Chain A
Amino acid sequence: MPDVAADSSASASGGALVPFVPDTEIAVVYPLHHGLKPPITRVSISWARGNNLRVSLLRNPPYNSDSDGEIGGKVVEVNLDSGAADVREPVQWRRIAYGSVTPFALLQSRKNSASSLSKLQSSPSPFHLDWWEHVMEYSKDIKELLGNPKSNYDPLIEDPKEVLKKGEEPTSLKAAWELMEMFYADKLCQSWLPERLVDWLADYDCLLSGDQPTVHSKLVEFQGTLVTLQVIEDDPKYWEVISSALAIGWLEIVVKLLRLHGSYQLDQLGHRETENGLVETVAVLISMMPRFRPELKNGKLGECFEAKPDFMKAWEKWREQITKLDSSAFWVPCHHRQTREGLKNLIQIMLGNTKILCTATAHWIELYISHFLFIRPFTAGLEGMYNLAQKCVQMKPMSSPHKLLRLIIGIIGENTEVVLAECSRGFGPWMVAHAIELLTARSDQADILLHKEHDDIGGISMEELHRLVYAQVLTSHFLTWQIAPVYLTSCMKQGMSLLEFLLYRQPAQHNQLLLKNLEICRLYELDHVSSNIMKIAGVYHWKHGRKGLGVFWLQQARDEFLLNKIARHLFDSVGKSISSESFKQWEGLIELLGSESKPAGSLEFLHKYRDFKKSLQQACDKKTLDAARHAADSLMSLMKNPSTPQRFWLPLLYDSLTLLTWPGRPLLNVSQTNLLLNKLQELSMASMRPGFVATDLPAEALNSVRLALATNLGRAILEEQ
């Protein structure tokens, strides 16, 4: 973790007597919140999902069982550093993850519609001509997410001695994003890329001041001593800071610092007139510097020229004025040595003296920027920029370049692989997955490279690979797994199968979570997954005693197999005899099994069986003919129904022996009795076959039913005659 080391060393050197920077990585302490009482006897550590460590803490078992009511141990998870960029807080990461979903999804849907449109028109390019505008919109949304625009160098500063305004600390993640945007997506700034880089450095120079001082850190340091300085122009630091700021084009700060020069004070103006004139002339010249760019932000100094000839003319004129000042006679009466030398130094910077520029700047990128400003304002094309960068790196070599600097080299070197690797190494999977959209915005070469399918990684493209990696990170946290489907579905080859896997892996016990899961299935039309999930939930609830909920989910899943099994189970538990207690139990369950309008195999049978049992009970209780007749009708409809399983025929008939031998008059007519006898015959035939499941009814059951039926037949024949 280079950042941790860098930050702590920077602060340590401020307070400690001996600044100590260890070579190895600094040990990071992760606090554990376990809430157990002190004597913890055993600790075990294992990996949990994602970047989490699972720590199990066990206390000594209490000697007497009712000692303190304390729990005997706890398992806690520790989230290790996500290892990406300088956004350390998981909360912040999640916010970025949440916020980037909508822009990403919007861009993908636009891409899909654009590619289907281009297929229709059979145009050679897959995208519209204005595709980069969509990408810019996307980039703008993402940028907003990464932090507010920094307003460090506000001209309307109340405190005249406050040179650097403290704004929100920028993140290197945003800095990297802006780099990618300006080089790959933003078509408008292509003609003035060097100046764009000047702006970029103005915003993010502070990020580079880790192991090596930067102009920004020099300014911050000087700002601290500024209040205590009596005669500012006597301090060599003053002139050093001014020349550094000028070298990287922070003109407002330079002019502001120059105007702090002692000769401006009213009591000294009289005898330092020439000196003051010189300072003011330099300040005016600096503020009039021609810039090769369309516009400048409010409060920034310089004169903008968009057309090259205009700029050339102005540039020449400006240089002429500087040369004239350099050789003017006013330097002789200027007695203040530091002012004279300092101003001369500034003039040399403006005239593009490489040696002085090199001493005024710290990092190679600062030197690079100063080249754009004062030596080669017309640098154009990535090749030229790359050569210049190489030259600057040689002049200011670095032992361990900052990740942003590595990224810049990759970008201007036009090496897409390096850019991807640096993004992934320095800024994590989020950055890669989202920045690929920028990479492919205009460059066909990058487009081909990223969309080429690689056989060694399962036939997927680089783009898909990085999206899958990011989706993997999202799924490792239970608050972000719900947004992983957005990324998974944008992966053509492996996305859907991984999404199914992800959905199956979610726990089924929480109803709300389950419903959210099913909602994702609905959105992506994964009907088979949702029915499987419902089956899992059904079985879970059934096993945990919530039979109603279990049946409900199985029914939703239309799982005939399990429902039949449950029905059989139900039948087995109550089918033997009519016990009112258990009957009530499963009557409620059958009630829940839903409306009769939806036939569900043996469930429909159970409904009918329930009705039959009810009426049989009534018949036995009331002993009235009507009730008995009703029960007999129920029996007939059950026996006639093809959904009634064969194995229930005999128990049904055995249960209704009272009906078959109803005193007074037979309840079933001849044809009905014949039908029942036929069924019985069929049953006896079936019992010969293998695979027949014998019921655990008494052995004489078949015979007694047969006898009862025969008796009934006889009575019915007599009745009908």
Chain B
Amino acid sequence: MAITNLPKTPKIHRIPQPKFIDAIRWLSSPSPFQKSFITSLYDSDFHTPSLEIHSLDPSKTLTTALFSWTPPSRISSLKSTPSLFAASTFLGSLHIFKTPEEMSVLGNDMSDLGEEGVSVLVLEKMGGLIWLMRGEILGGFLMGNGLVSYSAVKWASPSEFVTGGCGFGLQWWDLRKSGAAVAQFKGNWDHGTTSGIIHSIDIHPSRKHTCLAGGSSGTVFAWDLRRQQEPIILSSIGSSDTMTHPLSESEVWEVQYDCYTKSLNSNISSSQILPAMICSEDGILAVIGQGEEPTELLAEPCAINSFDIDCQNPSDVICSLEWESIVILSRP
């Protein structure tokens, strides 16, 4: 008894690329007919990384790159906001662009852009975290005494952020209270041989007390600061109470709140988790909601490594596939 939120199937455009796509993001554009996106690519034949902006006309054909830049090494993380985008590399440099010219270059590994101004969070491999604003280092944390590696980070408010790492652990930090995390969640469900790493975190701007996390073994859960020890599991192998079978059993690479899908439950309280979109290693792009059957948007034979929902027109989703291609979905 699948209840689908989308009666019509989305339009799917596949654009094969000659290079491997490390990450992909929409860019905001002034015209509704001209959409553009940024991709970080890796040419396997010449071992050269590149960062390219392409624009997309209504017929979904790709133009030649509007902007192309060669980073010093492969891109590890790519984020964008309406006014700028940032890319971090595996060599440890961070590049912030104000479309399209380069703004500043700093060092590090994984980043998240703040909503207001240019405050950037950068995660280091060794467990450090640096907070930057307008190219200046404003603060630094050494979390977990420099022993712990974090794999995801997200701003919750201009002064708070959440990190995620191994063992499904989440930490809530406040810049005003340095030292230790303000709140901590230790996931204690474990599936034997599968790993438990959080790959992506999202926080809805209107519900800053809840953070959504996705990671290994198809696990997607929400952590409410007000009920810290009761995570709300949206999808997981181990849980049988929420759904009959898990959506995916492999790594969930990215999670994002999907403001396009309306929840079926009419009485949305503030504790109800909003619908979220996920992409996974086993090639599934789907929307899941609390207590609802998930809606599968795409089932590919290869992994979907990243996706992005267009914030101007949330019906459009762009995702990058393991087999060197980009897929653009236009939902009806």
Contact = CB atoms under 8 A, between A and B. Distances in A.
B98 interface: no
B17 to A, nearest CB: 9
Contact of A548 (B147, B186, B301, B323): B147
Contacts of B323: 94, 98
A587 B44 contact: no
Interface in B124-178: 125-127, 144-149, 151, 165-167
Interface residues of A, number: 45
Contacts of A530: 193
Contact of B45 (A79, A545, A548): A79
A101 B302 CA distance: 10
B3 to A, nearest CB: 29
Contacts of A585: 145-147
B324 interface: yes
Interface string A69-101: 000000011010000000000110011001001
B100 interface: no
A552 interface: yes
Interface of B is mostly: loop
Nearest to B17: A91
Interface stretch (A56-64, A319-327, A441-449, A516-524): A516-524
B33 interface: no
Nearest to B16: A95
B291 to A, nearest CB: 28
Interface of B: 16, 18, 20, 44-48, 125-127, 144-149, 151, 165-167, 186, 188, 190, 193-197, 216, 249-251, 281-282, 301-303, 322-324
B144 A518 contact: no
A543 to B, nearest CB: 14
Given A94-B324, A556-B195, A515 B16 contact: no
Contacts of A588: 144-148
Nearest to A515: B251
Nearest to A76: B47
Contact of B126 (A98, A518, A546): A546
Contact of A518 (B44, B127, B190, B195): B195
Interface in A446-505: 477-479, 482
Contacts of A592: 144, 147-148, 166-167
A631 interface: no
A594 B46 CA distance: 42
A98 B303 CA distance: 12
A584 B142 CA distance: 13
A477 B301 contact: no
Given A33-B46, A519-B281, A98 B195 contact: no
Give the most central of B47, B126, B148: most A CB within 10 Å.
Answer: B148
A598 interface: yes
Contacts of B197: 511, 515
A549 B324 contact: no
Interface string A519-545: 100100001001100100000010001
Contacts of A79: 45
Interface in A330-369: none
Given A33-B48, A90-B45, A511-B197, A548 B18 contact: no
Contact of B167 (A479, A531, A594, A597): A594
Contacts of B251: 515-516, 519
Given A33-B48, A478-B44, A516-B303, 9 more contacts: A79-B45, A101-B301, A477-B44, A511-B197, A515-B197, A545-B126, A549-B166, A592-B167, A595-B186
Contacts of B144: 548, 588, 591-592
A654 B197 CA distance: 40
Interface string A578-596: 0000001101110110110
A704 interface: no
Interface in A526-576: 527, 530-531, 534, 541, 545-549, 552-553, 556
Nearest to A34: B46
A527 B195 CA distance: 13
B151 A102 contact: no
B281 A102 contact: no
Contacts of B16: 95
A545 B126 CA distance: 8
Given A548-B127, A548-B166, A591-B144, A516 B149 contact: no
B167 A552 contact: yes
Nearest to A35: B48
Contact of B149 (A33, A77, A548): A548
Contact of B322 (A90, A477, A482, A594): A482
B148 A511 contact: no
Nearest 9 A/B pairs, CB to CB: A588-B145, A548-B148, A98-B323, A552-B166, A91-B18, A548-B147, A549-B149, A102-B301, A588-B147
Contact of A77 (B47, B146, B151, B196): B47
Given A76-B47, A79-B45, A519 B127 contact: no
28 contacts: A76-B47, A79-B45, A91-B18, A95-B324, A98-B323, A478-B44, A479-B20, A479-B44, A482-B322, A511-B151, A515-B195, A515-B197, A515-B216, A515-B281, A518-B194, A519-B282, A534-B195, A546-B125, A546-B126, A546-B127, A548-B144, A548-B148, A548-B165, A552-B149, A552-B195, A587-B145, A594-B167, A597-B188
Contacts, number: 97
A534 to B, nearest CB: 8
A516 B145 contact: no
Contact of B281 (A477, A516, A587, A597): A516
A477 B146 CA distance: 36
Nearest to A97: B323
Nearest to A596: B188
A553 B195 CA distance: 8
Interface in A213-266: none
A549 B188 CA distance: 17
A595 B166 CA distance: 12
Contacts of B18: 91
B46 to A, nearest CB: 5
A101 B166 CA distance: 33
B281 A584 contact: no
Nearest to B321: A98
Contacts of A77: 47
Nearest to B144: A588
Nearest to A590: B147
Given A477-B44, A556-B193, A597-B188, A98 B148 contact: no
Nearest to A95: B16
Nearest to B196: A556
Nearest to A99: B323
Contact of A595 (B48, B188, B322): B188
Contacts of A477: 44
Nearest to A77: B47
Contacts of B126: 545-546
Contacts of B190: 598
Contacts of B216: 515
Contacts of B301: 101-102
Contacts of B45: 79, 90
Interface string A181-221: 00000000000000000000000000000000000000000
B255 to A, nearest CB: 16
A604 B151 CA distance: 26
Contacts of A545: 126
Contacts of A591: 144
Given A33-B48, A546-B125, A546-B126, A519 B145 contact: no
Contacts of B193: 522, 527, 530-531, 556
A168 B301 CA distance: 28
B188 to A, nearest CB: 5
Interface in A284-308: none
Contacts of B322: 482
A479 B148 contact: no
B102 to A, nearest CB: 19
A585 B142 CA distance: 12
Contacts of A101: 301
